Amino acid sequence: MIVKMSSEIPARNKMRICVVYLLFIFTICGSTNVDTVSSDIKIKNVDRIIDCSSQLVKTTSKITLENSGKAPIKSFLLAIENVLKDHISFLGVKDSHNKDLRLIETTVKGYDYIKFYRVELKDAINAGSSSILTAESVFTKALQPYPTAITQQEDQLVKFNGNLYFFSPYYVISQKTNVILNTKSVESFTKVKPFSQLDGTLIFGTYSNIGPFTEKELSVHFKNNSPFLTVTRVERLIEVSHWGNIAVEEKIEIEHTGAKLSGPFSRYHYQQDHHSGPASVRSYKTLLPASAADVYYRDTNGNISTSNMKVKKDSVELDLRPRYPLFGGWKTHYTLGYNVPSYEYVYHSGNEYLLKMRVIDHIVDDMQVDELVTKVILPEGVHNIKINFPYSITKLPDTLHYTYLDTQGRPVISFTKKNIVENHIQDFQLRYTFPTIIMLREPLIVVGSLYALFLCVIIYVRLDFSIHKPEHAHKD
């Protein structure tokens, strides 16, 4: 867990000390992030599944680690191959008890061009014994549409370039890779024996005795008509009110990043034949929290009248249809907003409050988000703000927001992150102090100003301000 602090709000000594302390820890961590590849570790077996059926590439690797040395090992390294290095969005490792393990990005001398993560094991692996771990990673934009432009009637073909072998700094004794495509129409793929094709799945392996850092191109060219929707930017605004409501508003820009539409669009064909435009996106589903109410879906020109809402047991399902179907290269933008009751997300003891909300919420299934900016607007008079994030996030400078009856402004905590997928839907924790008495201020402002107004009217009516006595009505 990485903790970062807001250092902008002045006059909070306690917090400042915390910040300094944490920054100190940070710098220490930063400087010591150099590891060496232990020769004691061997990988007995890797079962790798590469799921290419959506627009994301999700890999799940079951790794059997073996300690062939003498001392117990507490950590090991995961490496990301060069081909996919720039596409990685999420990496998580679980141990055999299905517990998340801590990951720290690191480097290894001599392999500067490779991205490494150090995985800290909860239970050390003793000499001679082995342990099974599951590494999960998600890559965005790893599937390239090829050809890059298609006509309305054509299917979308994409190409995946990866590594045929499990990329690891350790010696791998045996490994097997399943590539899930969910389609039988595969144009071409790398053929390194032994391999087989089964329904929508390509199976490579078993390959044995692959040395560390072995890269061999795995290329699959296949049909993929799943929605290629990239959320290019999300601005998520969370406005907390202590009167019992939290308003969430998301401004979303979305683009179809699959093969671009070339040539004309024909409404006739699109209407006559439902299979026309197979790669286009007519609608998609967004899941909101179960308690979401007062949902609105609009853009700069007003409501988007084509949407449906279904209230389910554990969520509110929105079937959003953009104003027009999205073909490759087409964009749209909209604002989605809703209210949730604050008791589900705000906890308190005395004047100390804790807000637990998602950094980002679900937008599309298998979503990929290029840029996220989340802003949390807290009530006026809140101080001592501390925030915890579930993963590394860039904090933006704090600002103030003025709305109804505000005098000193509401603190706004904002942060941003790039390259986000569904696995990043996790809670952040925001602690702050809020004296309850402040809640009375705004009603008092209203009452006070009305009182002053009536007083003025009363005084004006009772007193005569005219310079001279009014004459009698003018007679014509």
Partner 1 sequence: MPTTAAAKPVNGHNQGIFHNTTGFSTLITVTVLTLAWLAGFASRLFAVIRFESIIHEFDPWFNYRSTAYMVEHGFYNFLNWFDERAWYPLGRIVGGTVYPGLMLTSGTIHWLLHALNIPIHIRDICVFLAPVFSGLTAIATYLLTSELWSRGAGLFAACFIAIVPGYSSRSVAGSYDNEGIAIFALQFTYYLWLKSVKSGSVFWSICTALSYFYMVSAWGGYVFIINLIPLHVFVLLIMGRFSQRLFVSYTVFYIIGLVFSMQIPFVGFQPIRTSEHMAASGVFALLMVVGALKYLHSLNPKGEWKQLLVLGTLVAAGAVFLAVVALTYMGVIAPWSGRFYSLWDTGYAKIHIPIIASVSEHQPTTWSSFFFDLHVLVCTFPVGLWYCIKNINDERVFVALYAISAVYFAGVMVRLMLTLTPVVCVLSGIAFSIILELVLREDDPTQAPVETEESKNLYDKAGKVKKRAPEPVQTQDQGLGLYARPGTVIAFMILLMLFSVHCTWATSNAYSSPSIVLASYGNDGSRRILDDFREAYGWLSQNTAEDARIMSWWDYGYQIAGMGNRTTLVDNNTWNNSHIALVGKAMASNESAAYEIMSMLDVDYVLVIFGGAIGYSGDDINKFIWMVRIAEGEHPKDIHEADYFTERGEYRIDAEGSKTMLNCLMYKLSYYRYDSGGSPPGYDRTRNAMPGNRGFKLTYLEESYTTEHWLVRIYRVKKRDEFNRPRVPISKRTISTSNSISKKTSKRRKGLLKNKPTVVKGKKMRLE
The correct pick among 112, 199, 314, 476 for binding partner 1 (CB under 8 A) is 476
Of the two residues 219 and 403, which places its CB atom closer to partner 1 in the complex? Answer: 403
30 binds partner 1 (CB under 8 A): no
447 binds partner 1 (CB under 8 A): no
Q: How many CB atoms lie within 10 A of CB 340?
A: 21
331 binds partner 1 (CB under 8 A): yes
The correct pick among 268, 275, 312, 465 for binding partner 1 (CB under 8 A) is 268
Closest CA to 360 of 336, 326, 341: 336
- Please name the residue that has the structure tokens 């867990």: 1
Of the two residues 38 and 335, which places its CB atom closer to partner 1 in the complex? Answer: 335
The correct pick among 10, 30, 110, 302 for binding partner 1 (CB under 8 A) is 302
21 binds partner 1 (CB under 8 A): no
Q: Name the token pair of 473.
A: 């009505």
Q: Which residues contact 40 (CB under 8 A, 6 or more apart)?
A: 67, 68, 69, 70, 71, 73
110 binds partner 1 (CB under 8 A): no
Of the two residues 289 and 379, which places its CB atom closer to partner 1 in the complex? Answer: 379
- Please name the residue that has the structure tokens 């007003």: 302
Q: How far is the CB of 257 from partner 1 (least distance, A)?
A: 14
Of the two residues 74 and 323, which places its CB atom closer to partner 1 in the complex? Answer: 323
469 binds partner 1 (CB under 8 A): no
271 binds partner 1 (CB under 8 A): yes
- The DSSP code sequence of 383-419 is EEEEEEESS--EEEEEEEE--TT-SS-EEEEEEEEEE
Separation CA 409–CA 61 (nearest Å): 50
329 binds partner 1 (CB under 8 A): yes
332 binds partner 1 (CB under 8 A): yes
Residue 382 phi, psi dihedral angles, 5° rounding: -80, 140
454 binds partner 1 (CB under 8 A): no
302 exposure class (CB count in 10 Å sphere: 0-12, 13-18, 19+)? exposed
199 binds partner 1 (CB under 8 A): no
How many alpha carbons fall within 13 Å on the CB side of residue 52?
Answer: 31
Closest CA to 247 of 342, 384, 110: 342
333 binds partner 1 (CB under 8 A): yes
402 binds partner 1 (CB under 8 A): yes
Q: How far is the CB of 283 from partner 1 (least distance, A)?
A: 13
The number of residues that bind partner 1 (CB under 8 A) is 35
Closest CA to 255 of 223, 287, 284: 284
The correct pick among 406, 427, 429, 431 for binding partner 1 (CB under 8 A) is 406
282 binds partner 1 (CB under 8 A): no
- The DSSP code sequence of 361-386 is ---STT-EEEEEEEEEEPPTT-EEEE
Q: Name the token pair of 266.
A: 């024909």
* Residue 153 region by backbone torsions, left for phi larger than 0, else alpha for psi between -120 and 50, else beta: alpha
Q: Which residues contact 224 (CB under 8 A, 6 or more apart)?
A: 52, 53, 55, 143, 156, 157, 158, 181, 183
Instruction: Kindly indicate which of the ranges 50-58, 107-115, 209-217, 331-339 contains the residues binding partner 1, using the contact rule CB under 8 A.
Output: 331-339
The correct pick among 272, 437, 467, 468 for binding partner 1 (CB under 8 A) is 272
The correct pick among 184, 216, 323, 441 for binding partner 1 (CB under 8 A) is 323
154 binds partner 1 (CB under 8 A): no
459 binds partner 1 (CB under 8 A): no
Q: How far is the CB of 286 from partner 1 (least distance, A)?
A: 19
441 binds partner 1 (CB under 8 A): no
Residues at the site binding partner 1, with contacts judged by CB under 8 A: 263-268, 271-272, 298-306, 323-324, 329-333, 402-406, 461, 470, 472-474, 476
